[in-house]
Chains A and B, each alone.
Chain A
Amino acid sequence: MIAIMIREFRTYFQTPVGYVFMGLFLLVAGFFFTFGNLMNNSSYYTSFLGNILFLYLFAVPLLTMRLLSEERRQRTDQLLLTSPITVVDIVLGKFFAAMLVFLVTLLVTVLYAVVVGIFGDLAVWQTVGGYIGFALLGSSFIALGILVSAVSENQVSAAFFTFFALLFIWFLNLVKTVAPTDPTASTIFAAALVLGLAGFFFANTKSWIASGAVVLLGAAAIVVLHLLHPPFFNGLIPDVLDWFSLLDRYDGFTLGLLKLQEVVFYLSFTSIFLFVTIRMVEKRRWA
């Protein structure tokens, strides 16, 4: 894994990708810091970190687009998959290489905090918490980018779909503010989730019976919940969207709270996407 990580990290800086990522990230971040904090004499550093979250939309596709899709396009994935390295090592090696580039870039922004510390009133531990949250959110998005890269044919489509996947996450945050909260809408939403689950089963097993069983079990669960705990269906849609909202979970870090549940959530999100990526690549290995 370490060998792959080092190779990938070097590749970032043997091609323009690493430099373009760092340069553009620091250009936009520097711009926001200069005009948001420096020119306004504002010492609120965690607000600055919160304001540049949108950068992930553009930075993450750049960082992850070629990681697995390029191997596939150049057919070097055949070499990798037939080499005596596990898929876990391949995926984690690439993930950590991307994380390393991201963290090195983030380290440069610490200079901004130093300036606030010297000339203003820097809330040091709050800033440390802000950086931890920023890095954890970044790791979740990078894991998502790697998954998209694993299922994409080439870099361009990987970048394109990663961008839209991230945009979808931003979009969900808007949707939850207008999502219906009545029990009928919640029931339809729960039914749609069950159907989605059944569809996933069907895609993997091609069995109508297995998928039908999932639908029946899901429907039974909905009926039982309606009978035993009707309040469950009050505002189910915004509740679910709230719980899964990657961006909302960052708010605590901005306020200066380091919550174990948010740390575990981001690590879980990262793990799930890496796990699914590993399953996808493994499936291809044995296909």
Chain B
Amino acid sequence: MDIKSFLNNPKIKYGGYATIFTFAVIAGILILNLLVGQLGWQVDMTDRGVYTLSQQTRDVISELDQDVTIYMLARRNQEDAQIMEALNRYAQASNRIRLETVDAEQDPAFVARFDPEGEGLRNGSVIVASGDTHRAIQGVDLYSIDRRNPQAPRILGLNVENRLTNALLFVAAGRTPVIYQMTGQGQIDLAQQGMQRRLGEQFRNANFELRTINLAQAPQVPDDAAIVALVRPRTDISEGEAEKLSTYLNNGGKLFAAMELAAGELPNLAGVLEQFGIGIPVAVLVDPDRNFNNGQPLELWPQLADTSITTPLVEANYRVFTPLARPVVELDTKPRSVTIDPLLVTSAESFYRTNLEIPSPTMTAEDFPGPHPVAVRAIEREFTTGDEITRIVVAGDVDFITLVDQINGNLDFLMNSFAWLEEQEQTLSIRPRTTMQWPMQTTGMQKLIFGGLFVVIIPLAILITGLVTWLRRRHL
């Protein structure tokens, strides 16, 4: 049989054409689908923009100059759909970001590369890697969880963007800022605070490394110090330590200090802070305004000022609880090169008292009327050029740090303060995205009425109408 007669065979001619036509249409539709899939157009229909990247993240992504791979550790087809969608936004936002799924159970050797200390990276976690640098995020940290009731923590939403953008910043920078915590005066270790939310992990997630230093023994603050933290000194620092700290700050160092009332006079430390116009009088803050205390005038819920550290808390409806605070004041001797912004402020009814022997909860003639700052931040700039020299955050309370487990605002205030000191402000205002919807409020009677309507009355009415129609038409 030659080709001509083969092609003229009616079965081939018509059946073949029909089959090819059918395939051409189906193939065309498939190609259209593949092309549309490449476009990735979508609309986020959630009220809170759960799957929309913030401008801050888009800025971070647009500045990436290296390839980054996001590994989702999960069994195939068992990935959390919400997390995957949130991660997909990153991969779609830049050609430099790739998203891959790896099963940690199937490929433990792969996971071991990113978990040399065996901290337990398992399915559900995410790894952000670029070159030799990587950041692992535990699965639980990808969610925003309400832990006020430790027995029954509730998932409120997703915290993917905050974690991922921080991790991107970390792998892009390729270095971890080190926080040196001063020791020797009975200070507390930030890494050990928090039972359920270990602060150590929080700092690691925020790209910080916590180390300790005894400045009395060290010749100076180490060169790799990004921030020095002085948290709850029970006694004053020595003159030598104060000198080393001053030198560090005057050379562009950054300081976070949190003091408790019980420490009393701290003249050497006060001397360091005075250079920047910050005063820490030995006094107790009293706020009789019930809107700003916890039922007791000494237990404060101060107002949040409008700063890059505190505004994200206001937007999230968070407040900061400071159970027993001393004032942090701006001194009249403040140098003109320093700008001081209050962060937490007591109400207009408040006052601070230096004579701690007075038992009265109301203001006396000896007291100093408010409002007063509970915490401040300061920036010192080069007077002529305006270039920043140093950043300082001082809080007149320490207990807020030990309460990070119970109060979201306390944790965010602390972490935002360190992020501001390290000039990582991009991620400060990236809030967790709430996916929780408030439950319905219905009475038993309403449930009964609507349940009866939906399960009995509507279906039955339709079925009876059908029966009547059928019976009528049967006799036509």
Residues of A within 8 A of B (CB): 13-16, 18-20, 22-24, 26-27, 29-31, 33-34, 37-39, 41-44, 108, 111-112, 115-116, 119-126, 128-129, 176-177, 181, 200-201, 204-207, 209-210, 235, 238, 242, 251-252, 254-261, 264-265, 268, 271-272, 275-276, 279, 283
Q: Tell me, yes or no, whether B11 is within 8 Å of chain A by CB.
A: yes
Which one of B55-63, B266-274, B450-458 is at the A interface?
B450-458
**Residue of A with least CB distance to B3:** A209
**B137 CB to closest chain A CB, in angstroms?**
20
Given A16-B466, A120-B440, A255-B82, output 14 extra A-B contacts at Cβ < 8 Å: A14-B473, A19-B465, A38-B450, A121-B438, A177-B77, A205-B12, A205-B15, A205-B16, A205-B19, A210-B12, A256-B50, A257-B51, A261-B33, A261-B39
The 3 closest A-B pairs by CB, nearest first: A19-B466, A120-B440, A30-B454
Contacts of B110 in A (CB 8 A): none
Q: Tell me, yes or no, whether B155 is within 8 Å of chain A by CB.
A: no
Contacts of A235 in B (CB 8 A): 76
**A282 CB to closest chain B CB, in angstroms?**
9
Q: Is the CB of B437 within 8 A of A123?
A: yes
- 1/0 per residue, CB under 8 A from A, across B28-41: the answer is 01101100110111
**B88 CB to closest chain A CB, in angstroms?**
10
**B473 CB to closest chain A CB, in angstroms?**
6
**Residue of A with least CB distance to B37:** A261
Q: Is the CB of B447 within 8 A of A30?
A: no
Choose one: B446, B463, B467; the contact of A119 (CB below 8 Å): B446
Choose one: B15, B438, B465; the contact of A43 (CB below 8 Å): B438
**B52 CB to closest chain A CB, in angstroms?**
10
Q: Tell me, yes or no, whether B195 is within 8 Å of chain A by CB.
A: no
- 1/0 per residue, CB under 8 A from A, across B423-441: the answer is 0000000000000011111
**B215 CB to closest chain A CB, in angstroms?**
52
Contacts of A34 in B (CB 8 A): 447, 450-451, 454-455
Could you tell me the distance between the alpha carbons of A123 and B18 in the complex, rounded to whole angstroms? 48
Q: Is the CB of A23 within 8 A of B462?
A: yes
Q: Is the CB of A20 within 8 A of B47?
A: no
- A–B Cβ pairs within 8 angstroms, 28 of them: A16-B470, A19-B465, A22-B462, A23-B459, A23-B462, A31-B454, A34-B451, A34-B454, A38-B442, A38-B451, A42-B439, A43-B440, A128-B45, A129-B43, A176-B77, A205-B16, A206-B11, A207-B6, A207-B12, A210-B12, A210-B16, A238-B77, A255-B85, A258-B43, A259-B41, A259-B42, A260-B36, A264-B36
Given that A205-B15, A275-B25 are contacting pairs, would A256 and B451 also be in contact in the complex, using a CB cutoff of 8 Å?
Answer: no
Q: Is the CB of B441 within 8 A of A120?
A: yes
Q: Is the CB of B462 within 8 A of A19?
A: yes
Contacts of A128 in B (CB 8 A): 45
Q: Is the CB of A125 within 8 A of B45?
A: yes
**Residue of B with least CB distance to A176:** B77
Q: Is the CB of A265 within 8 A of B45?
A: no
Q: Is the CB of A33 within 8 A of B459?
A: no
Contacts of A42 in B (CB 8 A): 439-440
Given that A258-B43, A260-B42, A265-B33 are contacting pairs, would A23 and B466 also be in contact in the complex, using a CB cutoff of 8 Å?
Answer: yes
Q: Is the CB of A123 within 8 A of B470?
A: no
Contacts of B30 in A (CB 8 A): 268
Choose one: B39, B42, B465; the contact of A258 (CB below 8 Å): B42
Q: Is the CB of A119 within 8 A of B442?
A: yes
Q: Is the CB of A44 within 8 A of B437?
A: yes
From residue 318 to 336 of chain B, which have CB atoms closer than 8 A to chain A?
none
Could you tell me the distance between the alpha carbons of A31 and B451 in the complex, rounded to whole angstroms? 8
Q: Is the CB of B441 within 8 A of A41?
A: yes
Q: Which one of A181, A200, A204 has the highest number of Cβ atoms from chain B below 10 Å of its Cβ?
A: A204
Could you tell me the distance between the alpha carbons of A161 and B434 in the complex, rounded to whole angstroms? 44
Contacts of B473 in A (CB 8 A): 14-15
Could you tell me the distance between the alpha carbons of A242 and B50 in the complex, rounded to whole angstroms? 24
Choose one: A13, A33, A209, A254; the contact of B6 (CB below 8 Å): A209
Contacts of B465 in A (CB 8 A): 19
Q: Is the CB of B462 within 8 A of A126?
A: no
**B277 CB to closest chain A CB, in angstroms?**
48
**Residue of B with least CB distance to A178:** B77
Could you tell me the distance between the alpha carbons of A259 and B77 in the complex, rounded to whole angstroms? 19
Q: Tell me, yes or no, whether B81 is within 8 Å of chain A by CB.
A: yes
Q: Tell me, yes or no, whether B247 is within 8 Å of chain A by CB.
A: no
Q: Is the CB of A257 within 8 A of B458?
A: no
Q: Is the CB of B29 within 8 A of A23?
A: no
Q: Is the CB of A261 within 8 A of B450?
A: no
Contacts of B40 in A (CB 8 A): 261
Could you tell me the distance between the alpha carbons of A22 and B469 in the complex, rounded to whole angstroms? 14
Contacts of B19 in A (CB 8 A): 200-201, 204-205
Q: Which one of B45, B51, B439, B441 has the highest number of Cβ atoms from chain A below 10 Å of its Cβ?
A: B45
Could you tell me the distance between the alpha carbons of A111 and B459 in the complex, rounded to whole angstroms? 13
Contacts of A115 in B (CB 8 A): 440, 450
Q: Is the CB of A276 within 8 A of B22?
A: yes
Given that A27-B455, A41-B441 are contacting pairs, would A260 and B41 also be in contact in the complex, using a CB cutoff of 8 Å?
Answer: yes
Could you tell me the distance between the alpha carbons of A251 and B9 in the complex, rounded to whole angstroms? 49
Q: Tell me, yes or no, whether B46 is within 8 Å of chain A by CB.
A: yes
Q: Is the CB of A112 within 8 A of B454?
A: yes
Contacts of A126 in B (CB 8 A): 45-47
**Residue of B with least CB distance to A242:** B77
**A18 CB to closest chain B CB, in angstroms?**
7
**Residue of B with least CB distance to A46:** B45
Given that A111-B454, A125-B45, A271-B29 are contacting pairs, would A16 and B469 also be in contact in the complex, using a CB cutoff of 8 Å?
Answer: yes
Q: Tell me, yes or no, whether B26 is within 8 Å of chain A by CB.
A: yes
Contacts of B22 in A (CB 8 A): 275-276, 279
**Residue of B with least CB distance to A116:** B440
Could you tell me the distance between the alpha carbons of A26 and B455 in the complex, rounded to whole angstroms? 8
Q: Tell me, yes or no, whether B44 is within 8 Å of chain A by CB.
A: yes
**Residue of B with least CB distance to A115:** B450
**A207 CB to closest chain B CB, in angstroms?**
5
**A51 CB to closest chain B CB, in angstroms?**
15
